[in-house]
Amino acid sequence: MKLAEALALRADASRRVEQLRARVIGNARHQEGETPSEDPVALLAEADGVLDSLETLIRRINRTNSTVAVAPEGTLTDALARRDVLRLRHALLTGAADAAAGRGGARQLRSELKMLTELPVAELRARADVLAREIRELDMRIQRTNWEADLLED
C-alpha cells in the first residue's frame, strides 16, 4: 500500500470515529419506556475497533514518514515540520501586512486621529508571496513522495 492510500484511510477512519461518537452521544440516554434508535454499547464497541485500526495505521504512517527521504528537507517528517512552519510564517506575514494596511479596522473619519503603520506592507506581502511559492513547491514534493513511498509494515 502506498503512503497516500494510508493517509486517505486514516482520514476515513477519523471521520468514522467522529460519526460513531456522535451516534453514541445521541443514543446514550433515552426516556423511560422508550428504546434508543441504536444500541450505544454496540456503537462503542464498533468505535473501539475502528480506533484500534486507526492506531495501527498512524503508527505505520509515522514510521514511514520518519524513514522516507524528501530532498532536500531530509525525511518526510522533516518536510512536514518545515511545511507547518512555513504556513505559520506565511500567516504571520499576511496578518501583519493586513493589519498594517488597515484591513479589518474601523472606518476613519476626518475628525479622528490619523493612523500610521510601523510595518512595510509591500515588503511583507513580497515575503509572503515567496513563502507561498515555497509552500506550494514543498507540498508538491510531499504529495509526490506520498504516492511513491510504500507504507512500512507494523
Residue 14 lies in a domain: yes
Q: Does 144 lie in the same domain as 73?
A: yes
SS3 of 150, please? Answer: strand
Residue 5 lies in a domain: yes
Three cell numbers at 7? 493517509
pLDDT of residue 90: 98
Q: Does 139 lie in the same domain as 75?
A: yes
Q: Does 103 lie in the same domain as 115?
A: yes
- What single-letter amino acid sits at 50? V
- Our CA dihedral for 77, 149, 147, 53, rounded to 10 degrees, sits at -80
Residue 80 lies in a domain: yes
Q: Which domain holds residue 94?
A: 69-148
Q: Does 83 lie in the same domain as 54?
A: no
Residue 107 lies in a domain: yes
Q: Does 99 lie in the same domain as 42?
A: no
Question: In a structure prediction context, what are the per-residue pLDDT tens digits for the chain, which is 154 residues long?
Answer: 999 999 999 999 999 999 999 999 999 999 999 999 999 999 999 999 999 999 999 999 999 999 999 999 999 999 999 999 999 999 999 999 999 998 755 555 666 777 888 999 999 999 999 999 999 999 999 999 999 999 999 8
Q: Does 141 lie in the same domain as 95?
A: yes
